[in-house]
Amino acid sequence: MYVVIKKGATKNEIDVLKQYIKDTDHGILEVVDKGLKKIGIMGKSDVLFRDELMKYSAVERVEKIAKPFKFVSREFKNEDTIIEVKGRKIGGTDMVVMAGPCSIENKEMIMEIAKVVKENGGEFLRGGAFKPRTSPYDFQGLGEEGLKYMREACDTHDLVMITEIMDTREVELVGEYTDIFQVGARNMQNFSLLKELGKSGKPVLLKRGMSATIKDLLMAAEYIVAFGNKEVILCERGIRTFEIATRNTVDINGIALLKEKSHLPIIIDASHGTGKRSLVEPVTLGCILAGADGAMLEIHKNPDCAFSDGDQSVDFAAFKLLSKKIQKTLEFKESLKCL
């Protein structure tokens, strides 16, 4: 449930209410939604508790949330959540581009890619230092060395760093370098990891699991929020279906539905979603029209020589062209609102 605070309620009145909620072993989630201050109450509650809340002078009304994913739902917060990282905004009217290699191969490579990302309007550099691979014999990433290279590349070119976290034991280490934690599809329901990231104090990009429903994804996001972190970014990266012509099946329905059900920003990763570099452009642009707030792209100077995921990586020339088309698509999308 959540409490709507009366307009004109004093800070002292609100603090007294918050202290009562904490004293009853409930968590607190504060948001402002279309000018209304709301306090989400996390934990088990009952009708008697609701009646007690109404006795406090700061309380306008108490609302029950019907959705199982309570605090990431539009039912709790109708206004879009905008996450700001180093002056860059994710969500709202802004369109973000997160680009970089699947895995960091060496310092020279990530520095060159960072330069290309910046030159083409990108503000976020993505890249893997720890790589979850299907085969234990495939390249597993450079580890902390890769994190250092990526941090230097981001600092040099004024980019926001986003990289994957795979294990609760690595949260502190990765957190020393990255600006945004990425949770991969295989870890979407790693609840121990989600709890730790909820306490981390840094934004989290949560990728949809390979066989996860929309509800599964939103419940995973709810874990992060419930443990104290409101800054969650959802990512559609394709789901596993009976179709084998592409790596995964991008759920464009899911993009539109997530925008309807949740206030959290949503990113499309058509690289993993399709597994085919020829499909990255059309699927990315289509998902932007469906409501995506940004795109995550895998790029490489020479995709055929990439250590991992070369088949789904676009080269620099294709990235430059796609960046322009993303902006044109966004302009077209905005023009449709006037019809």
pLDDT digits (tens, 9 = 90+) for 133-163: 566 656 567 889 999 999 999 999 999 999 9
Check residue 337 and give its pLDDT. 83
**Sequence-ordered alpha helix ranges (H) in 127-234:** 144-157, 171-175, 191-198, 214-226
38 and 31 Cβ atoms separated by less than 8 Å: yes
Check residue 231 and give its pLDDT. 97
* Relative orientation angle of helices 316-336 and 277-290, to the nearest 10 degrees: 20
- Give the mean pLDDT of 31-35: 93
Q: How far apart are CA 83 and CA 142, in angstroms?
A: 29
User: Is 0.85 topped by the overall pTM?
Assistant: yes
Check residue 142 and give its pLDDT. 85
In the structure, what pLDDT confidence band is assigned to residue 308 with cuts at 50, 70 and 90? confident
The tokens of 242 are what?
């009976």
Q: How far apart are CA 156 and CA 114, in angstroms?
A: 9
Among the ranges given (103-107, 215-219, 275-279, 333-337), the one the predictor scored with the smallest mean pLDDT: 333-337
Check residue 132 and give its pLDDT. 64
82 and 91 Cβ atoms separated by less than 8 Å: yes
Check residue 243 and give its pLDDT. 94
The tokens of 339 are what?
């019809």
Please tell me what DSSP assigns to residue 24: T
In the structure, what pLDDT confidence band is assigned to residue 102 with cuts at 50, 70 and 90? very high
Check residue 140 and give its pLDDT. 62
Query: What does the angle CA 47 – CA 52 – CA 58 come to, to the nearest 5 degrees?
Result: 125
pLDDT in tens, 45-99: 777 788 999 999 999 999 999 999 999 999 999 999 999 999 999 998 889 999 9
Reported as type and span, the H/E element at residue 241 is none
Q: Domains, the chain, ranges and CATH?
A: 2-63 (3.30.70.1140), 83-336 (3.20.20.70)
